[in-house]
Chains A and B, each alone.
Chain A
Amino acid sequence: MAEPLLEIKDLRVEFDTRDGVATVIDGLDISLYPGEILGIVGESGCGKSMTALSIMRLVPVPPGRIAKGTIRLDGEDLLQVSEKRMRGVRGNAISMIFQEPMTSLNPVFSVGDQIAETILLHEGGSKRAAWQRAVEMLDAVGIPVPEVRAREYPHQMSGGMRQRVMIAMALACQPRVLIADEPTTALDVTVQAQIFDLLKDLQKKTGAVIVLITHDMGAIAEMAQRVVVMYAGRKVEDGPVDEILTNPKHPYTTGLIGCVPHLSADPSEERVPLTDIPGVVPPMTRLGQGCPFAPRCSEAMDKCRLEMPTQSVVGEDHRVSCWLIENDGP
């Protein structure tokens, strides 16, 4: 396999809370390879956004901190570089689009101005050229009559349009990594489909690596080549999407796939009850010694409650952290 473009190793993120220290990410390893779309899935609060914020070095300090680990982009550890250098990385080499575009767009500037501003900030050049590029970017993300729409303000646009503007802005400086954190949650499915098509298309054209964060396995299946499944701040399984969907190894992954009623083109009369993952995610301040999924896992053994499972390789590029899997080594 090729060298990873970006490599997260043994990442730990902690937050100080009233109940003590919450370890919201622990022992996380993720590699991004050139030309791929990587999906990250998991329940609310499992650390998906925090992973993204760590890559951008935007974890709020305090109360949070990156306590351990490395995040290497082309070999350079982003956790060690100066804040000045990091500002050069953000929006340039790595950029991010957020769930709710309205909160990250400035209501008092036209969308064209905002994209042009980003271009000027990162690349310099003349205002005129930057505006021209902004219009081209709006065109590239499928906004009709871009020279007119560029003069509009965010509130004059629909949710889908605003998300296109965010994508245009994120891509303006030709990033090598684009992190999309639930980019379509606020949108209708027909509009979501447009945004997904656009992201796939842009990925092919620009070659940027895309990290797609979502809680929808369907979206992962549709978009990504590889997927990381997270639970309570840990990676429980990762591997090629098709492999994970057809042959999940971790009980949590199996549950995550089975608990969703998947749309079928040929529904059967009979409806079997959905897989139930009982209980809820434990508070991050009260994770014990063992596997964080143990309290909800129907397969849990004594060992699971006492000891954190180690990672096993179960197939080509397919890894699982679960005591049910015998640790054979690679």
Chain B
Amino acid sequence: MTEETLLSIENLKVHFPLKTRGFSAPKSFVHAVDGIDLKIAKGKTFGIVGESGSGKTTTALAVMRLVPITSGAITLGDQRLDRLEGEELRRARRHMQIIFQDPYSSLNPRVRAGAIVREPMDLMDVGEKSEREDLVAELFRQVGLRPEQQALFPHQFSGGQRQRIGVARALASQPDLVVCDEPVSALDVAIQAQIINLLRKLQAELGLTYLFISHDLGVVQYICDDIAVMYLGKIVEMGDRISLFKEPLHPYTWALLSAVPSADPALRDRADRIRLQGDPPSPIDPPPGCGFASRCPFSQALCTMEAPQLRTIRTGHSVACHFVSDDGVPPQRKI
């Protein structure tokens, strides 16, 4: 691949200390993100999927420098984000912006929509002061809101319109990378489609790069070019959208795909669908070995002793499972 890499994450760990009583140092840690590597090409959409608590949001917040990074490197363009502090960090922020899940709580209810969108421009010195009014008007147009709606307060908008304001605000600083953390999960399906179409249109027009987090596999398959599947703080499989969904390799990915209720009878009636038992284990001081071993129908003794490493099976498709063969035969096909 000759694509230019915009964001690269190397061996990122984010461990949260558990609060302890007394003065002793914390002994236990939540391994929210436990050593992940990924690269996002400029102008592409990179998706992260996975169970609740698998570390998707924490990864996003680490990229945004909104949680303390335990170790690892995050590089945006040619800048090591993880090393920036103070004024340098503040200046770097205009290159990365985030859209949150909840359009209701992420907008200040007492500020008019126009001012909400303008604020990042003033904070980060985007363009000339005299131009900003026009820039805001242009953003409103781009996200499909009318100019006079700048004067309204957030509660005067519908959920979908509020999310449009969130998108406009994220674009105000003319970022290279836009992190979208479940940007459509709180919206009704019809409104979801409007926002997804909007995000794709803006990407085509402005050359944006997205880090897109969602638990909805249909949405991820549609919007993302490359996808990482996370489980218990680790990436268990990563691939381009065609290869990953056509030939999923990791048993967890397979279980996830099997679990999605489907309107397509061909998918629904597949005999090799698997069902997981139980819930994911706790990320507090996780055991050695494969994080999925406790729920994996194919797990063997080796799985609980040794953590499988992410290996490349074919171009653009890698997996972390002991029992996927080097030529890409997953355990679920062998039985």
Binding site for B on A (CB under 8 A): 43-44, 158, 160-161, 188-194, 196-197, 215-223, 242, 245, 255-257, 259-267, 269, 271, 273-278, 280
> What sequence of 0s and 1s flags, for each residue 245-273 of chain B, a beta carbon within 8 Å of any chain A beta carbon?
11000000001111111111111101000
**Contact present for A190 and B221 (CB under 8 Å):** no
Q: In whole angstroms, how far apart are the Cα atoms of A274 and B221 in the complex?
A: 13
| B245:A223 contact, CB within 8 angstroms | no
Contacts of B265 in A (CB 8 A): 242
**How many residue pairs, one in A and one in B, have C-beta atoms under 8 Å apart?**
124
A219 — which chain B residues lie within 8 A by C-beta? Answer: 261
B193 pairs with A274, CB closer than 8 A: yes
Contact between chains at A260 and B262 (CB < 8 Å): no
A160 with B263: CB separation less than 8 A: no
**CB proximity of B168 to chain A, nearest CB, Å:** 18
* Cα distance A193–B256 in the bound complex, in angstroms: 9
Which stretch in B96-104, B133-141, B211-219, B324-332 binds the other chain?
A: B211-219
Asked whether B263 lies within 8 Å of A280 as measured between CB atoms, the reply is no
A188-B52, A256-B190, A261-B196 in contact; A267/B261 too (CB < 8 A)?
no
Tell me how far the C-beta of B256 lies from the nearest C-beta in chain A, rounded to whole angstroms.
6
30 A-B pairs (CB sep. < 8 Å): A44-B188, A158-B279, A189-B260, A193-B258, A193-B259, A193-B276, A196-B261, A218-B263, A221-B268, A222-B261, A242-B265, A245-B263, A255-B190, A256-B189, A259-B189, A259-B190, A259-B192, A261-B222, A263-B221, A263-B260, A263-B264, A264-B264, A265-B266, A266-B246, A267-B245, A274-B197, A274-B222, A276-B197, A277-B190, A278-B194
7 nearest CB pairs, A to B:
A261-B222, A259-B193, A193-B259, A222-B261, A218-B261, A274-B193, A277-B190
Residues of A close to B52: CB separation below 8 A:
188
Please tell me if B146 contacts chain A, counting CB pairs below 8 Å: no
Closest A-chain residue to B187, C-beta based? Answer: A44
What is the CB-to-nearest-CB distance from B162 to chain A, in angstroms, rounded to a whole number? 12
Q: Are A221 and B190 in contact (CB under 8 A)?
A: no
Using CB atoms and an 8 Å cutoff, list the residues of chain B in contact with chain A. Answer: 51-52, 158, 160, 188-194, 196-197, 200, 215, 217-219, 221-223, 241-242, 245-246, 255-268, 270, 275-277, 279-280
Tell me if A194 and B267 are in contact (CB < 8 A): no
A216:B261 contact, CB within 8 angstroms: yes
Chain A residue, CB-CB nearest to B144: A278
Tell me how far the C-beta of B213 lies from the nearest C-beta in chain A, rounded to whole angstroms.
Answer: 14
Distance in Å: Cβ of B236 to nearest Cβ of chain A: 13
Residues of B contacting A215 in the complex (Cβ-Cβ under 8 angstroms): 188-189
Chain A residues closer than 8 Å to B241, beta-carbon distance = 267
Expressed in whole angstroms, the Cα–Cα distance for A274 and B241 within the complex equals 17
Not counting A256-B189, A261-B196, a sample of 18 additional A-B residue pairs whose C-beta atoms are within 8 angstroms of each other reads A190-B259, A192-B259, A222-B268, A242-B265, A255-B190, A256-B190, A259-B189, A260-B218, A261-B219, A262-B263, A263-B217, A263-B257, A265-B257, A267-B241, A274-B193, A274-B197, A276-B190, A276-B194
Partner of B218, one of A221, A263, A273, A278: A263
A267 interface neighbour in B189, B196, B246, B258, Cβ under 8 Å: B246
Q: Cβ of B189 and Cβ of A264 under 8 Å apart?
A: no
- With a cutoff of 8 Å between Cβ atoms, the chain A residues found around residue B200 in the complex are 271, 273
Given contacts A44-B188, A277-B193, contact A222 B262 (CB under 8 A): yes
Report the minimal beta-carbon distance from B278 to chain A, rounded to whole angstroms.
8
CA distance A256 to B158 in the complex (A): 19
The answer to whether A43 and B261 have CB atoms under 8 Å apart is no
Q: What residues on B are CB-neighbors of A161 within 8 Å? A: 279
B261 contacts A276, CB within 8 Å?
Answer: no
**How many angstroms from the CA of A277 to the CA of B197 in the assembled complex?**
12
Q: Roughly how many angstroms separate A82 CA and B161 CA in the complex, as a whole number?
A: 45
Cβ B276 vs Cβ A190 within 8 A = yes
- What is the CB-to-nearest-CB distance from B97 to chain A, in angstroms, rounded to a whole number? 24
Give complex CA distance A45, B219 in Å. Answer: 23
- Hey, which chain B residues are within 8 Å of A278, CB to CB? 194
Interface centre among B217, B246, B264, B275 (most CB of A within 10 A): B264
Specify which of A189, A257, A265 is in contact with B259 (CB 8 Å cutoff): A189
CB of B53, distance to nearest CB on chain A (Å):
9
Q: Which residues of B contact A274 (CB under 8 A)?
A: 193, 196-197, 222
Distance in angstroms between the alpha carbons of A191 and B51 in the assembled complex: 10
Q: Which residue from chain B places its CB closest to the CB of A44 in the assembled complex?
A: B188
Give Cα A191–Cα B52 distance, bound, in whole angstroms.
Answer: 11
Cβ contact of A273, chosen from B197, B219, B258, B280, cutoff 8 A: B197
* Contacts A222-B262, A263-B262, A265-B246; A190 near B193 (Cβ below 8 A): no
Whether A276 lies near B260 (C-beta < 8 A) is no
Chain A nearest CB: distance from B259 CB in Å? 4
Could you say which of B221, B261, B267, B270 has the most chain A C-beta atoms within 10 Å of its C-beta?
A: B261
Tell me the bound Cα distance from A217 to B217 in angstroms: 14
Q: Across the interface, do A218 and B262 meet the contact criterion of CB distance under 8 Å?
A: yes
Given contacts A193-B259, A219-B261, A262-B262, is CB(A188)–CB(B215) below 8 Å?
yes
Closest to A217 in B: B263
Shortest Cβ distance from A46 into B: residue: B188
Considering the chains assembled together, what is the distance between the CA atoms of A222 and B261 in angstroms? 6
Chain B proximity of A258: nearest CB distance (Å): 8
Q: Which of B192, B194, B257 has the most CB of A within 10 A?
A: B194
**Measured between C-beta atoms, what is the minimum distance from B90 to chain A in Å?**
37
Q: Is the Cβ of B190 less than 8 Å from the Cβ of A197?
A: no
Which residues of the partner chain A approach B217 to less than 8 Å between Cβ atoms? 189, 263
The CA-CA distance from A19 to B310 in the complex, in Å, is 59
Closest beta carbon of chain B to A293's beta carbon, Å: 11
In contact, B275 and A267 (Cβ under 8 angstroms):
no
In whole Å, how far is B5's beta carbon from the nearest beta carbon of chain A? 22
